[in-house]
A and B are shown apart, each in its own frame.
Chain A
Amino acid sequence: MSALTRAQIRSAILDTLCAIAPETDPAGITPGAPLREQIDLDSMDFLNVIIRLHETLGIDIPESDYARLATLDSAVDYLARRSGAG
């Protein structure tokens, strides 16, 4: 699989958040702050975010890595590394 750009990953994350939590305002997200403090995501929503990112990006996310997706910035970093974009 060709490496995804950070912009593609960021956009995929924001699309996913908006799909799972329809009231999400992408422009209002502070990239360095925990997503679950900014968006109303319960455990099931968060799992659904992971599942959808797996489907759209084709990146496997082990449960032990869930904490790396805590903020928008850390999620982009993590997924970029996993996709090989570095």
Chain B
Amino acid sequence: MPTLGADMEAGTLVEWLVKPGDEVKRGQVVAVVETQKGAIEIEIWENGTVDRLVVETGRKVPVGEVLALLRAPGEAVAAAPVAQARRIEPTPRPEAAPPAPPRAAPAPGAPARARISPSARQLAGELGIDAQSVQPAEPGGVISRADVERAAAARKAAPAAAAKPAAPDWHAQMRTAIAAAMSRSKREIPHYYLATDIDVTVVTGWLAAENVKRGVAERLLPVVPLMKAVAVALREVPELNGFWVDGAFRPSAAVHLGMAIAMRGGGLVAPAIHDADRKSLDALMADLRDVTTRVRGGRLRGSEMSDPTITLSSLGEQGVEGVFGVIYPPQVAIVGLGKVTERAWAHQGTVAIRKVMTATLSADHRVSDGHRGGLFLAALARLLQEPEKLR
């Protein structure tokens, strides 16, 4: 059972997408695990043949438990005693691993698992409905609350079917997960906090002009150039990007930006946008759309949960002006971007109305100091003055 974040202690194996004898390839999705943050697709990081599935579906097992045994390519079937077969422990993923390939199709014979919205999953739990038995309104669509309610009504009509005991409250589980990670962070990480106000009039105007040229489906959200600027600014202060592991900092050459995304019905997750510093704005927008859709309706992959090298919390236009984040261990920094507001601002020798955003940094004092953190925020402010270079 891989660890899919600092707050995870156990997971429930809800589905195998492979069976003994199946060939598996590095990066293939082999199983689905239900965690406190929803269903996560588990990838495998070695090539080989599935020898034996050790954990049956429906079982909750602690992190580190062997889920299945894998034979290396060429290893004989009968000659492979269980003890010698390789353990499937897909994470932590090696640093040098390439970005995960697109999600593999389920193995032949394995029924495609229906996607379900978190709130529908919760409702199904409350009503004692097996979420996997619910039919979405559209074939292949995401199961919604209405679908679960319809399934519940159908079950009432057939009272012979025994109700399952209600699953533990999903909200409570999510709060427990966040509490565990954030308590650990505040216990172990000596945070320092910096804030600066950045004039974003230029980047805001540039984006508006860019979006005028684009069809509605190609437009970029305001956060996209901010993501790119944060990722590029990290190159100048690499000690904010990486992990604190076993009493030492391990910098990451790649910038995998964890985007804090609110989940429907409460809670949040921060899945990775891989290699954010090297992607075009269009690619970042596509990735953001993809993970947001899956956070809110479908499911995330294990690598997206464990890969982020830093977190970005952007409040968008609905929020407040500033946010000081709590670092998500084992990361060493979190960047907070507040709502863009119009403020009276000294500009070119006069007071003007400018669009201003408060950017904050919470960072781990074991790894960096306020001086270096300040240089990061200064780099971010500088990069945002030349948005055409962020493409």
Q: Which residues of A contact B (CB under 8 A)?
A: 21-23, 36, 40, 42-45, 47, 50-51, 54, 60-64
**What residues of A have a CB within 8 angstroms of the CB of B296 in the complex?**
45
Known: A23-B264, A60-B216. A43 touches B222 (CB 8 A): yes
Within 8 A of A (CB), among B203-248: 208, 211-212, 216-217, 219, 221-223
A51 touches B145 (CB 8 A): no
**What residues of A have a CB within 8 angstroms of the CB of B146 in the complex?**
22
Determine the distance from Cα of A43 to Cα of B221 in the docked complex, in whole angstroms.
Answer: 7
**What residues of A have a CB within 8 angstroms of the CB of B297 in the complex?**
22
Cross-interface CB contact of B217 among A21, A43, A51, cutoff 8 Å? A51
Determine the distance from Cα of A83 to Cα of B109 in the docked complex, in whole angstroms.
Answer: 49
The reply to whether the CB of B332 lies closer than 8 angstroms to some CB of chain A is no
Smallest CB-CB separation from B288: which chain A residue?
A44
The reply to whether the CB of B142 lies closer than 8 angstroms to some CB of chain A is yes
Determine the distance from Cα of A3 to Cα of B251 in the docked complex, in whole angstroms.
Answer: 59
Determine the distance from Cα of A29 to Cα of B293 in the docked complex, in whole angstroms.
Answer: 23
The reply to whether the CB of B120 lies closer than 8 angstroms to some CB of chain A is yes
A40 touches B222 (CB 8 A): no
Known: A22-B119, A22-B120. A44 touches B216 (CB 8 A): no
Smallest CB-CB separation from B292: which chain A residue?
A44
Known: A50-B216, A60-B216, A63-B208. A23 touches B265 (CB 8 A): yes
Determine the distance from Cα of A50 to Cα of B214 in the docked complex, in whole angstroms.
Answer: 14
Determine the distance from Cα of A47 to Cα of B222 in the docked complex, in whole angstroms.
Answer: 11
Max chain B C-beta neighbours (<10 A), residue from A22, A36, A47, A50: A22
The reply to whether the CB of B39 lies closer than 8 angstroms to some CB of chain A is no
**What residues of A have a CB within 8 angstroms of the CB of B144 in the complex?**
22
Determine the distance from Cα of A31 to Cα of B211 in the docked complex, in whole angstroms.
Answer: 29
**What residues of A have a CB within 8 angstroms of the CB of B262 in the complex?**
40, 42
**What residues of A have a CB within 8 angstroms of the CB of B216 in the complex?**
50-51, 54, 60-61
Smallest CB-CB separation from A54: which chain B residue?
B216
Grouping DSSP codes into helix (H, G, I), strand (E, B) and loop, the B interface class, with mixed when no group exceeds half, is helix
Apart from A23-B119, A50-B216, list 12 A-B contacts with CB within 8 A: A22-B117, A22-B119, A22-B120, A22-B142, A40-B265, A42-B261, A43-B318, A44-B221, A44-B289, A47-B221, A54-B216, A63-B208
A42 touches B219 (CB 8 A): no
Smallest CB-CB separation from B263: which chain A residue?
A40
Smallest CB-CB separation from A63: which chain B residue?
B211
Determine the distance from Cα of A62 to Cα of B216 in the docked complex, in whole angstroms.
Answer: 7
The reply to whether the CB of B317 lies closer than 8 angstroms to some CB of chain A is yes
Max chain B C-beta neighbours (<10 A), residue from A40, A43, A45, A60: A43
Known: A21-B264, A22-B144, A36-B318. A62 touches B212 (CB 8 A): yes
The reply to whether the CB of B140 lies closer than 8 angstroms to some CB of chain A is no
**What residues of B have a CB within 8 angstroms of the CB of A47 in the complex?**
219, 221
Smallest CB-CB separation from A40: which chain B residue?
B264
CB distance from B147 to the nearest CB of A (A): 9
Smallest CB-CB separation from B144: which chain A residue?
A22
Determine the distance from Cα of A45 to Cα of B288 in the docked complex, in whole angstroms.
Answer: 12
**What residues of A have a CB within 8 angstroms of the CB of B212 in the complex?**
62-64
**What residues of A have a CB within 8 angstroms of the CB of B221 in the complex?**
43-44, 47
CB distance from A17 to the nearest CB of B (A): 12
The reply to whether the CB of B316 lies closer than 8 angstroms to some CB of chain A is yes
**What residues of B have a CB within 8 angstroms of the CB of A21 in the complex?**
264
Smallest CB-CB separation from A47: which chain B residue?
B221
B316 touches A43 (CB 8 A): yes
Determine the distance from Cα of A50 to Cα of B217 in the docked complex, in whole angstroms.
Answer: 9
A63 touches B316 (CB 8 A): no
**What residues of B have a CB within 8 angstroms of the CB of A43 in the complex?**
221-223, 316-318
Shortest 4 CB-CB distances between A and B: which pairs? A22-B144, A44-B292, A54-B216, A43-B316
Determine the distance from Cα of A54 to Cα of B215 in the docked complex, in whole angstroms.
Answer: 10
Determine the distance from Cα of A66 to Cα of B344 in the docked complex, in whole angstroms.
Answer: 25
